[in-house]
Structure 1
């Protein structure tokens, strides 16, 4: 609208101040021209009291918001239509009422996706963090529209949402009893243990062939303890810059201590705590030393923090980790026995089309040395056989005994190589009888010395 037309319409409004349609038109023109103050001068003082003037009030609210008067804009907005709720979100954002603004924005966009405004959404998710002044440092105010106001460790330590218990794990009954007695009971009866001056927490090292459920056991232990589970990956710690790996490791432990009771799980722990005698790099030795310090350092209190670690090569873990107060409980996670294999196969077949002729006892007998991962591969291969048969016949074929027997010809146990290596260490490098459990397992299952 040009200046002449606007002036003429403004003069007409002066002659008829109650003309709602004309006032609405002028307010819209003011918005188009960016003349917020001029448009606001046209508003009557009692506009909030006008009935049946929703569109007029919406335009007035836009002018108020453009002029920086978000409070009055919020008073003028009426109705629950998407456009009104989006404008309300803008007004609330201007007033720093971000949580309320997020609710209005989501409601507006859910009703009309065309109103989506990513710039506004980023503004609604802005984070403000105040750092008080300290000696040698001024007061800082950090404003960000992502999660950089949180420490890096928050992104690394994301608690698992799914809770597992021992009921979700087939087999390993003796090991579960040991874990319950030595690890879970201190969390369930902390008062009794404090009476005997025993701390809740500590360190547990799980070792055994790959694919036998060490990670699953760690998560189930956290579920039984009703503790927060933190899965720490190697990439969460290791850094190319000198000193950064140690700093990250310290931050991870600090976060877990702050959220106790908590379970920290380090998979493939030999990558972080390998033998210092086997490395020429001083940085690796420093990281091991930092790890040891965090586990029982003079200034750290790990009460309520259980540190679980898993490894396939326990002989590569630095011996300093095994002394009491660190990984003082070392548990062998063996391949499942026959009864456990039968139980695991039945669990893995739940929810799949299955014939009645499957002989699970026969399958368990002929899968000696299979890990849980190997059994899963056996089931997947049998399912592939059934799918191929279904495609050939043009009708769905359930997984039957014939498919499993065909799968048995293709799937092999992957634990045998590990057991051979472990047998050699148990026979010739069994300092402190640390591999007696491996020898007992091999003797019992015919893989002995």
Structure 2
């Protein structure tokens, strides 16, 4: 605000000193110009009631900048989110941390655009007393003679919250097959023992990237009420001869000791690639070790379910496909229309959104989108809503135009995979292993 405008407004205020909105405008102008003493002089001894409630936090801001934190709290007694935020700053200045934290949480809950990471860091910082060093630095020597429990723990990703099939959109046929062949043997062990069928075994999930293979594996473990071990492939592979095989054996041993359990290998081709194409003998030995562990000759694998997921099933060594290993193979296709609606609803769940979003419009225009692509549409739309909220200074929910704008930006990512899979399904379909892919391509006119 320039000097002439400011002088005119101050003259108008002198003529009507009870004009609360004009007082708030002048206080903001002085604060913007860095003129805190002028703003404090203008506020004088006026009570909070001289300002409209939505502007009383401006009075608190002036007083806090003037070092009067206790009096600033008088202007923060209302119900607005801005008052709660400035109350948090005033309490912090008075070293009243509990009250400051409560006020900050109340402000951010009411209006997420008021979140202030610097203020949060000051409110919730922890003071750690440094421990005196004894004897100087100590070196840790790692031996490669054996695989320790720490090696096994490192090869398993940190546990994630359990999921169920309700958290996985679509894939109804795959869920039905998994329930019948995998989950029920865990839930009805006596019946299956009568027919000499054991719980566990091996399942291979394959399909385009982003279509829910990993999510389905986690949900399967949740439905089985089994311990889930998500194997980190990069931590299994080791540069030292024999170490990769030893780690793989240790992982299976841990799973056998924790039954019922699920061992999940994502990007399975990294450990189970075709041996005839391997240039290194160590790769062939790792595949042989994997096959031996799955056969369970030394120890039974009863109660251990081995789940593998891959985008390139044609790269897996055929020895893994025989009965007793990955004898059950499920194709996880891109979602159909009902599944796309389910995925969109799951992705939108818990986000601020307008009522009755036109999801039919999005569903009809996303054929060939993976589940990850659909989630990306929602994430992109959320970015637009967040940007609008920050511009407006208040939370603005997701709108139809956000989803439509995101749809113009996000492109499907499964088309390249489908082109490659079509060639294998046509010309390398030994034993009908890719019949499900052919059926999908024919049903969607991509054959």
Same fold (TM over 0.5): yes
Which residue pairs with 1:363 in the alignment? 362
Q: 1:177 to 1:393 in 2, by over 3 A?
A: same
Which residue pairs with 2:429 in the alignment? 430
Contact 2:154 2:235 in 1 (8 A): no
Contact 1:159 1:228 in 2 (8 A): no
Which residues of 2 match residues 162-181 of structure 1 at below 5 A?
Answer: 162-181=161-180
1:125-168 Cα deviation digits (max 9, x unpaired)? xxxxxxxxxxxxxxxxxxxxxxx984521343366252111111
- Aligned-pair distance for 1:222? 0.6
Query: Which range is displaced more, 155-164 or 188-197?
Result: 155-164
Contact 2:157 2:232 in 1 (8 A): no
Q: 1:362 to 1:260 in 2, by over 3 A?
A: same
Which residue pairs with 1:292 in the alignment? 291
CA distance in 1, matches of 2:212, 2:128: 48
CA RMSD of aligned residues (A): 2.1
Contact 1:159 1:229 in 2 (8 A): no
Which residue pairs with 1:313 in the alignment? 312
Q: Secondary structure at the match of 2:409?
A: coil
Gaps of 5+ in 2: 1-125, 135-146
Contact 2:183 2:223 in 1 (8 A): yes
Q: 1:211 to 1:227 in 2, by over 3 A?
A: same
Query: Which range is displaced more, 295-304 or 316-325?
Result: 295-304
- Aligned-pair distance for 1:195? 1.2
1:69-128 Cα deviation digits (max 9, x unpaired)? xxxxxxxxxxxxxxxxxxxxxxxxxxxxxxxxxxxxxxxxxxx978775779xxxxxxxx
Instruction: Report the TM-score when normalising by structure 1.
Output: 0.66
Q: 1:285 to 1:363 in 2, by over 3 A?
A: same
- Aligned-pair distance for 1:441? 1.0
Contact 2:155 2:233 in 1 (8 A): no
CA distance in 1, matches of 2:417, 2:251: 31
Q: Secondary structure at the match of 1:412?
A: coil
Which residue pairs with 1:351 in the alignment? 350
1:364-387 Cα deviation digits (max 9, x unpaired)? 110111111101110111112223
- Aligned-pair distance for 1:443? 1.4
CA distance in 2, matches of 1:208, 1:313: 8
Which residue pairs with 1:212 in the alignment? 211
Q: 1:118 to 1:373 in 2, by over 3 A?
A: farther
Q: Secondary structure at the match of 1:370?
A: coil
CA distance in 2, matches of 1:341, 1:149: 44
Q: 1:261 to 1:391 in 2, by over 3 A?
A: closer
Which residues of 2 match residues 264-279 of structure 1 at below 5 A?
Answer: 264-279=263-278
Contact 2:381 2:403 in 1 (8 A): yes
Contact 1:357 1:400 in 2 (8 A): no
Which residue pairs with 2:378 in the alignment? 379
CA distance in 2, matches of 1:322, 1:409: 41
Contact 1:237 1:248 in 2 (8 A): yes
Aligned length in residues: 310
Instruction: Report the TM-score when normalising by structure 2.
Output: 0.66
1:223-266 Cα deviation digits (max 9, x unpaired)? 11111100111122100001111111111111111111110000
Q: 1:422 to 1:115 in 2, by over 3 A?
A: closer
